[in-house]
Amino acid sequence: MFSISPQIIRRSHKFLPRTLVPRRTAHIPSAFLLDNYIPRYRLLTGAQISQKKEQAIEHLRNCNICPRRCGVNRLAGETGYCMIGEKVKVSTIAPHFGEEPCIQGTFGSGSVFFSGCSLRCSFCQNYDISHQRAGFDLSPEELAEWFIKLQTVGNVHNINAVTPEHVVPQLALAILAAIPLGLKIPIVYNTSAYDGPEALSLMDGLVDVYLADFKLSSPVSSKRLLKAPDYPETAKEGIKLMQQQVGDLKFTFDGIAQSGVLVRHLVMPTYVEEGKEIMRYLAEHVSKDTYVNIMDQYHPAAHVGKANRGKDVGNPRYAEINRPVTSLEVEAVQLAAREAGLWRFVEESPHEGFR
């Protein structure tokens, strides 16, 4: 997306010593370039910060932050569907190189992987984190200190909150607590798109980049594979709200995303037509300038391929996705995206990294 050519422009002037000026090649249209960028949370007034804190605490007291709407009092130690209480549970905090070079850049994202999840994806690629809730507990204040450590010691480009849908109030409180500590880099909200409108309202003004998965488009397949038949409608409405808040993905001249929406779709065996439908939805109802990552790394994981019990005993579970995705399936979704009018796609990452 952005590179420095090995070619060097040599300029001389009779009054000045000859200087070396690197020739820059920016492949980013000017409409999506930013000269300078100030994270949105740095622009909040004192009154807005106080209001956000009050809203976050009220959501913890009567939790309706994800579409499950459990209504539990997390401040009193109660837990709902996600099994997470007042404190967040974190599996990993580290600089991270993943699938989106425009997010990770040279130094990586300061990624915080939250344990637990509001979905129960049968094929979850991070099953040990999301389903088994491995990790350690942190208060919002402790999480804020980790944000500062990532920023100062890790020298990362942004703070990447991975799978935060069920801990939005705590994440909001952590961001707000980190502001007086000196936090000054963008916040990336890395979500499955199973977000309630209350969550996205709370995040408005705190998040700079929404990195949203769009997994499936059918209530039937979503019920079977995600245990959430309302997922497609929730994702559609949520991504539209994200777009309204931050717009299309924009970059500074170094090619690092600073603001906007990036949508990811993991192409899956058997469900290629749903991938095509998702691409058409993004083009028609979100923006033809939506930045999209069509991912090809699906492989059977979590519950896929395990032996069935009961009347289907011995047969593999979720047999229709019990194989890797093929290149032809991925290309079919890519073609559908282009035919729908989408044109901004993630380039292949040069980093292996953990995902």
Q: Would you list which residues are annotated within the binding site for [4Fe-4S] cluster?
A: 117, 121, 124
Closest CA to 332 of 263, 282, 291, 277: 277
Taking the alpha carbons at both ends of the chain, their separation in whole angstroms is: 21
Question: And the tokens for 231?
Answer: 């997922």
For the chain, how long is the longest CA-to-CA vector? Answer: 88
Whether the Cβ atoms of residue 246 and residue 260 lie closer than 8 Å to each other: yes
Kindly state the helix (H) or strand (E) to which residue 202 belongs, with its residue range: helix 197-203
SS3 95: strand
CB atoms within 10 A of CB 132: 12
Closest CA to 100 of 353, 283, 327: 353
> CA–CA distance from 298 to each of 16, 102, 238 (Å)?
57, 21, 24
C-alpha–C-alpha distance, residues 194 and 239, integer Å: 10
SS3 290: coil
221-240 burial string, b = 16+ CB within 10 Å, else e?
A: bbeebbebeebbebbbbbbb
Whether the Cβ atoms of residue 222 and residue 231 lie closer than 8 Å to each other: yes
Q: Is the dihedral of CA 126, 130, 136, 140 positive or negative?
A: positive
> CA–CA distance from 187 to each of 37, 47, 63, 166, 179 (Å)?
12, 21, 23, 17, 12
Closest CA to 75 of 56, 48, 52: 56
